[in-house]
């Protein structure tokens, strides 16, 4: 089996998680290099995993000992690093969002199309979650009839300080935009956003309630609340003509202890989507080795950015904002 030597740019929460998954349970890959602007953080991960420490993202991408790259640096650097990977002709798994603006996503799409090779996979991990996959299969089986509503809830225990109300849309709600497109195989055509008052425990950003319409006429509502305190809670229910299908949020075991009866809510997404993160990395490596790629493409990253920008405009205007539909380029079919 060929071995792909992977380099990771950004060794914070997600970079370290990917590194540990790669080092422990992905076949056909090895973690070969890491870079972080905080060198001490990169060194500590390198000591744990045996990877080499690089002193710059450019050096890591160009190095002959690195075959493929995972980009986990701050969101604002994603598109620039994706462009550098394309220029070097190396596959990259780029954490979501693909870019911080639609223009940035367009640049990546143009470069990839011009290069003539699909090199970028966007880290929309939920596409690898068994729950969402089962929802998609239930809809496709036609037992339920056509979809009418998709209800989504996205709650984090405590969001990081840098997450503003606006960044929450790209960073958190972006997952919901992508999973809507994945589940319904439909495009989002409009967005409206309303916000309640801020929680007194997180006065610097507001929760969001996003209402989307799809081209075929499905209504999608999304609650995004990144400061719910009690844990990581992601839910989805698809309401169709003859029934519904929803994510089962309870884990395999229930706990009864000291007056408590129920299941524990995971602290964050790494635990909740543990299986999906592994499948995503294995799928990415398998695709590099020639298997079909089931991950989100640059086109998917671009369409999510279009919805993000429409939501930002809707926040400012208080109006429903259109997301013009475009035909998917043949290159991405």
Sites of contact with ligand ISE (CB under 6 A): 156, 171-172, 175, 226, 269
Report yes or no: 19 and 8 within 8 Å, Cβ to Cβ.
yes
DSSP letter for each residue of 237-281: EEEESS-EEE---S-S--EEETTEEE-PPPSSHHHHTHHHHHHHH
- Contacts (Cβ under 8 Å, ≥6 apart) of 200: none
Question: Which residue sits closest to ligand ISE, CB atoms considered?
Answer: 172
Residue 269 vs 299, nearer CB to ligand ISE: 269
Report yes or no: 236 and 126 within 8 Å, Cβ to Cβ.
no
Residue 175 vs 181, nearer CB to ligand ISE: 175
Gap between the Cα atoms of 53 and 47, Å rounded? 9
Gap between the Cα atoms of 73 and 174, Å rounded? 17
Query: Tokens 């950004």 belong to which residue?
Result: 10
Closest separation in Å from C-beta 243 to ligand ISE = 28
Closest separation in Å from C-beta 175 to ligand ISE = 6
Burial class (CB in 10 A: 0-12, 13-18, 19+), 200: exposed
Whether the upstream peptide bond of residue 97 has omega within 30° of 0, thus cis, is: yes
Residue 196 vs 329, nearer CB to ligand ISE: 196
Cross-strand pairs, 152: 222, 236
Residue 35 vs 269, nearer CB to ligand ISE: 269
DSSP letter for each residue of 185-204: T--EEEEEEE--PPPTTSTT
Closest separation in Å from C-beta 124 to ligand ISE = 9
Closest separation in Å from C-beta 154 to ligand ISE = 6
Closest separation in Å from C-beta 206 to ligand ISE = 14
Report yes or no: 321 and 308 within 8 Å, Cβ to Cβ.
no
Closest separation in Å from C-beta 173 to ligand ISE = 8
Closest separation in Å from C-beta 83 to ligand ISE = 21
Residue 6 vs 179, nearer CB to ligand ISE: 179
Residue 178 vs 213, nearer CB to ligand ISE: 178
Residue 127 vs 175, nearer CB to ligand ISE: 175
Closest separation in Å from C-beta 63 to ligand ISE = 27
Residue 129 vs 186, nearer CB to ligand ISE: 129
What H or E segment, with its residue span, contains residue 170? none
């Amino acid at each position: 089996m060929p071995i792909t030597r992977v380099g990771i740019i950004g060794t914070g929460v997600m970079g370290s998680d990917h590194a540990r998954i790669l080092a422990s349970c992905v076949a056909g890959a090895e973690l070969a290099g890491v870079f972080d602007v905080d060198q001490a953080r990169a060194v500590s991960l390198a000591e744990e995993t045996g990877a080499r420490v690089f002193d710059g993202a450019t050096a890591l991408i160009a190095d002959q000992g690195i075959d493929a790259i995972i980009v986990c640096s701050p969101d604002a650097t994603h598109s620039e690093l994706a462009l550098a990977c394309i220029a070097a002709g190396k596959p990259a798994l780029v954490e979501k969002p693909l870019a911080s603006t639609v223009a940035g996503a367009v640049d990546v799409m143009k470069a990839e199309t011009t290069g003539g090779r699909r090199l970028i996979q966007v880290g929309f991990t939920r596409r690898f979650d068994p729950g969402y996959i089962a929802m998609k299969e239930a809809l496709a089986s036609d037992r339920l009839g056509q979809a009418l509503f998709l209800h989504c809830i996205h709650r984090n225990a405590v969001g990081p300080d840098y997450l503003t109300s606006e960044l929450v849309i790209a960073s958190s709600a972006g997952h919901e935009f992508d999973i809507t497109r994945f589940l319904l195989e439909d495009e989002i055509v409009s967005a409206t956003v309303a916000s309640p008052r801020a929680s007194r425990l997180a006065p610097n950003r507001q929760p969001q309630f996003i209402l989307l319409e799809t081209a075929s006429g499905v209504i999608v509502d999304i609650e995004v609340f990144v400061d719910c305190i009690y844990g990581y809670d992601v839910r989805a229910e698809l309401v169709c003509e003859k029934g519904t299908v929803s994510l089962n949020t309870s884990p395999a075991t229930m706990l009864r202890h000291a007056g408590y009866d129920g299941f524990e809510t995971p602290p964050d997404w790494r635990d909740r989507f543990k299986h999906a993160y592994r499948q995503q990395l294995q799928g990415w490596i398998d695709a590099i080795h020639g298997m079909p790629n089931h991950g989100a493409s640059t086109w998917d990253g671009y369409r999510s950015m279009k919805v993000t920008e429409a939501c930002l405009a809707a926040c400012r205007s208080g109006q429903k904002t259109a997301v013009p539909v475009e035909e998917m380029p043949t290159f991405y079919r």
